[in-house]
């Protein structure tokens, strides 16, 4: 680490506030089930901002208005012998119920040196940083080290069927030649003490397996004896599955994360109760707790139509999440617990994601943070939920969550994701833009 002279000032953060506010003011609410608004105007806004500095972009629509933007940023001076780096983000946001907020969620008001509004941390902050940095480098003729693929996806908040997954299926060649990718959710700081800030880089994501359990039995009158009752069979099966204690499996990412946390905070983590030991990390502790093992939760039950009729058919739905490498174990365990009378079907399956926390890209993250924060230390972590990185299955892309943000220690950052009064400190935003700018010199 160096406390060396501040790097020469580049004009990378002067626009970032305006860009972020203007993006928030374009209401891009994704209501799910294919319903949304504003993604096309947002993509057109981004395209215009890129066009102003001479970068051409292409817009793709999976359905009318569901717009994803792709741009090849390969100015004079990039090293074309290196495979492109993908920097992807999304323009859509989750709904906001205005009555619950202290401010209009789409006004992008500035209050207490923060920008308030839906998308302020998920993820119009990073959209703005990226635009700001790219525009500044273009104006100043500073090429990134290697070719960069800029992607602004639609539909991330509803699982990406009309955004990342659609693009991966229909325009695979636009993504598949990239060897690395950065996006949400990671790069934010966790203050340990004045001279140590951890920056959590996401290197793994759990996978998802939604399951349907089907029990067949003998239909009949509710007054009769029936030892082939579909409801009874199904209830017993989901009882076993729902109360199953999944064994803890320390994935290498998780092990590295816990080791770093123990060292930094000088604590010993109780692996049987990670959430309690890590309560001082705020809401991050919940995410860490959920990445200690596979989980399967019964969520939907469907059977019967009348109290005195035994149905011949009963169904349940389960939400399963597996650690990278834990997929086979999850499905085998569910089948075994369900028993021979129950049919188990996977209805939705999304891959787990993992990348090694090593190599020149990871070094570039550490280095670029140090240029702005001499007390920065990057550490890997695993997300319990998913991002657009899930769409890049079968492509050889190392995916990282690295959207750098230095946060004031008192801000409960993860609670702001999809939360009420979502907001981002202006200083954090500017910091992020400067770090991203350094990163492009080395990445
Ligand atoms: Zn997001």
Give residue 44 CA to ligand 1 midpoint distance, Å.
20
> Does any domain span residue 95?
yes
Residue 302 and residue 436 in one domain: no
> Does any domain span residue 159?
yes
Contact between 113 and 427 under an 8 Å Cβ cutoff? The reply is yes
Mean pLDDT of 139-146: 96
Q: Which pLDDT does position 2 carry in this prediction?
A: 45
- 193-229 in b/e form (b: 16+ CB < 10 A) is eeeebbbbbbbbbbbbbbbbbbbbbeeeeeeeebeeb
With a cut of 60, say whether residue 8 has pLDDT above it.
no
Give residue 23 CA to ligand 1 midpoint distance, Å.
14
3-state secondary structure of 390: helix
What share of the chain has pLDDT > 90, as a percent? 84
Residue 170 and residue 315 in one domain: no
Strand residue runs (E) in 178-229:
180-183, 188-193, 196-205, 207-216, 220-221
Give residue 183 CA to ligand 1 midpoint distance, Å.
9
Q: Mean pLDDT of all residues in the chain? A: 93
Mean pLDDT of 225-252: 94
Do the strands 35-36 and 180-183 form a parallel or antiparallel pair, or are they unpaired? unpaired
Residue 343 and residue 404 in one domain: no
> Does any domain span residue 378?
no
Residue 39: count of CB within 10 angstroms of its CB: 27
- Which one, of 403, 399, 388, lies nearest residue 180 by Cα? 399
Residue 139 and residue 240 in one domain: no
> Does any domain span residue 357?
no
Give residue 341 CA to ligand 1 midpoint distance, Å.
40
With a cut of 90, say whether residue 283 has pLDDT above it.
no
Residue 26 and residue 151 in one domain: yes
With a cut of 50, say whether residue 1 has pLDDT above it.
no
Q: What is the CATH number of the domain that holds 84?
A: 3.40.630.10
Q: What is the residue range of 95's domain?
A: 16-184+384-442
Which residues have CB atoms below 5 A from the ion given as ligand 1?
122-123, 184
Residue 230 and residue 108 in one domain: no
Give residue 340 CA to ligand 1 midpoint distance, Å.
40
Tokens of 56: 């051409």
Q: Which pLDDT does position 276 carry in this prediction?
A: 79
Give residue 119 CA to ligand 1 midpoint distance, Å.
8
Contact between 143 and 78 under an 8 Å Cβ cutoff? The reply is yes
* DSSP string for 261-293: HHHHHT----GGGHHHHTGGGTTHHHHHHHTSS
With a cut of 70, say whether residue 48 has pLDDT above it.
yes
Residue 227 and residue 310 in one domain: yes
Give residue 408 CA to ligand 1 midpoint distance, Å.
21
Residue 421 and residue 310 in one domain: no
Give residue 241 CA to ligand 1 midpoint distance, Å.
31
Give residue 170 CA to ligand 1 midpoint distance, Å.
22
What share of the chain has pLDDT > 70, as a percent? 98
Higher pLDDT, 68 or 247: 68
Residue 217 and residue 93 in one domain: no
> Does any domain span residue 301?
yes
Give residue 235 CA to ligand 1 midpoint distance, Å.
36
Q: Could you report the per-residue pLDDT of 202-217, keeping only the tens digit for each?
A: 999 999 999 999 999 9
Candidate from 129-133, 153-157, 262-266, 361-365 with smallest mean pLDDT? 262-266
Count of structural domains, the chain: 2
Residue 148 and residue 232 in one domain: no
Residue 55 and residue 140 in one domain: yes
CA end-to-end distance (rounded Å), the chain: 18
Q: Which pLDDT does position 9 carry in this prediction?
A: 52
Residue 97 and residue 178 in one domain: yes
> Does any domain span residue 422?
yes
> Does any domain span residue 372?
no
Q: What is the CATH number of the domain that holds 301?
A: 3.30.70.360
Give residue 336 CA to ligand 1 midpoint distance, Å.
36
Give residue 309 CA to ligand 1 midpoint distance, Å.
46
Give residue 122 CA to ligand 1 midpoint distance, Å.
5
> Does any domain span residue 332?
yes
């Amino acid at each position: 680490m160096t406390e060396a002279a501040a790097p020469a000032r580049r004009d990378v953060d002067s626009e970032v506030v305006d860009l972020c506010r203007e993006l928030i003011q374009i209401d891009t609410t994704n209501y799910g089930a294919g319903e949304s608004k504003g993604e096309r105007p947002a993509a057109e806004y981004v395209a215009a901002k890129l066009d102003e500095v001479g970068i051409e972009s292409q817009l793709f629509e999976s359905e009318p208005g569901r717009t994803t933007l792709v741009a090849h940023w390969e100015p004079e001076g990039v090293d074309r012998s290196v495979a492109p780096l993908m920097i992807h983000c999304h323009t859509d946001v989750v709904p906001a119920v205005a009555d619950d907020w202290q401010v209009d969620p789409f006004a992008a008001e500035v209050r207490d040196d923060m920008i308030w509004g839906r998308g302020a941390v998920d993820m119009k902050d990073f959209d703005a940083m990226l635009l700001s940095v790219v525009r500044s480098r273009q104006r100043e003729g500073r090429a990134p080290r290697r070719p960069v693929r800029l992607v602004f996806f639609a539909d991330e908040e509803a699982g990406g069927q009309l955004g990342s997954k659609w693009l991966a299926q229909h325009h695979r060649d636009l993504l598949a030649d990239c060897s690395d990718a950065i996006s949400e959710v990671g790069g934010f700081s966790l203050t340990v003490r004045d001279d140590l800030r951890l920056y959590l880089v996401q290197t793994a994501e759990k996978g998802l397996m939604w399951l349907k359990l089907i029990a067949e039995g003998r239909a009949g009158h509710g007054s009769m004896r029936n030892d082939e009752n579909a409801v009874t069979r199904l209830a017993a099966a989901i009882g076993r599955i729902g109360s199953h204690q999944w064994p803890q499996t320390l994935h290498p990412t998780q092990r590295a994360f816990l080791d770093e946390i123990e060292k930094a905070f000088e604590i010993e983590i109780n692996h049987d109760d990670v959430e309690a030991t890590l309560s001082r990390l705020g809401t991050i502790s919940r995410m860490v707790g959920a990445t200690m093992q596979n989980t399967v939760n019964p969520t939907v039950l469907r059977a019967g139509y009348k109290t005195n009729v035994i149905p011949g058919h009963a169904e349940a739905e389960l939400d399963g999440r597996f650690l990278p490498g834990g997929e086979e174990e999850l499905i085998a365990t569910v089948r075994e617990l369900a028993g021979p009378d129950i049919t188990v079907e996977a209805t939705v399956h999304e891959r787990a994601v993992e990348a090694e926390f090593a190599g020149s890209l990871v070094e570039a993250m550490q280095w670029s943070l140090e240029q702005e924060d001499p007390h920065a230390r990057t550490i890997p972590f695993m997300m319990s939920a998913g991002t657009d990185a899930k769409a890049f299955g079968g492509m050889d892309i190392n995916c990282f969550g690295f959207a750098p943000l230095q946060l004031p220690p008192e801000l409960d950052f993860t609670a702001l994701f999809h939360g009420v009064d979502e907001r981002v400190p202006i200083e954090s935003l500017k910091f992020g833009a400067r770090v991203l700018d350094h990163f492009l010199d080395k990445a």
